[in-house]
């Protein structure tokens, strides 16, 4: 009887420890506190998305497979328009450079869940007015959940949307 109680206690301890660890992985990383330099920007005329040369070719290939450049550009344009800072004809250009990207496969998410790590999308943002840099900052997001579904393409969009909102908030 005593060994059964001891085994039950250990099971309970392991369950609580597992839940505490899972609670620490809430599905989204803590928002970065961007270190923005330069004045707030009244508006931008266009958005350009690029991938850093520091991103490995295999990671860039995955980014291209989900049409990341176009989808992130559309998300950022929408978020900037939502905060009323997209003005066609403005000379200022919002440059968004992808500096880190990871997107787990659907099978990895299904079989390993949070143990497979997180999907990430980090960017450097530069606002230029001609050759003059008006403002710079960084932003990003990480997600260990399956928000959007099991396919890589469907999980990319929620990350792009969050990054776009964070980029627009810092203008």
Q: What does the block give as tokens for 139?
A: 């932003």
Q: Look up the CATH number of domain 27-169.
A: 3.40.50
Its pTM stands at 0.73
Tokens for 15, please give them.
């369950």
- The least confident of 3-12, 58-67, 89-98 is 3-12
Phi then psi dihedrals of residue 107, to 5 deg:
-65, -40
pLDDT at 105: 60
DSSP letters along 92-148, please? EEEEEEEEEEE---HHHHHHHGGGG--EEEEEEEEEEETTEEEEEEEEEEEE-S-TT
Per-domain boundaries in the chain: 27-169
Mean pLDDT of the region 124-152? 80
Entry field: residues in the chain: 171
Residue 25 pLDDT > 50: no
Report the pLDDT value the prediction gives residue 148, as an integer from 0 to 100: 54
Angstrom distance (rounded) from CA 98 to CA 139: 10
Share of the chain above pLDDT 90, in %: 51
């Amino acid at each position: 009887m005593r060994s059964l109680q001891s085994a039950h206690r250990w099971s309970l301890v392991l369950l609580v420890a597992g839940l505490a660890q899972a609670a620490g992985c809430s599905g989204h990383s803590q928002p970065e506190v961007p270190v923005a330099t330069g004045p707030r920007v009244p508006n931008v005329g266009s958005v350009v998305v690029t991938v850093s040369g520091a991103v490995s070719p295999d990671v860039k290939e995955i980014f291209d497979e989900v049409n990341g450049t176009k989808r992130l550009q559309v998300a950022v344009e929408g978020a900037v328009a939502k905060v009323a800072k997209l003005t066609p004809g403005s000379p200022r250009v919002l440059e968004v450079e992808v500096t880190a990207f990871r997107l787990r496969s659907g099978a990895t998410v299904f079989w390993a869940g949070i143990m497979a790590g997180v999907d990430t999308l980090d960017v450097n943002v530069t606002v230029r007015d001609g050759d003059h840099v008006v403002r710079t900052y960084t932003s990003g997001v990480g997600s260990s959940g399956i928000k959007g579904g099991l396919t890589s393409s469907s999980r990319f969009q929620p990350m792009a949307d969050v990054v776009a909102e964070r980029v627009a908030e810092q203008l």
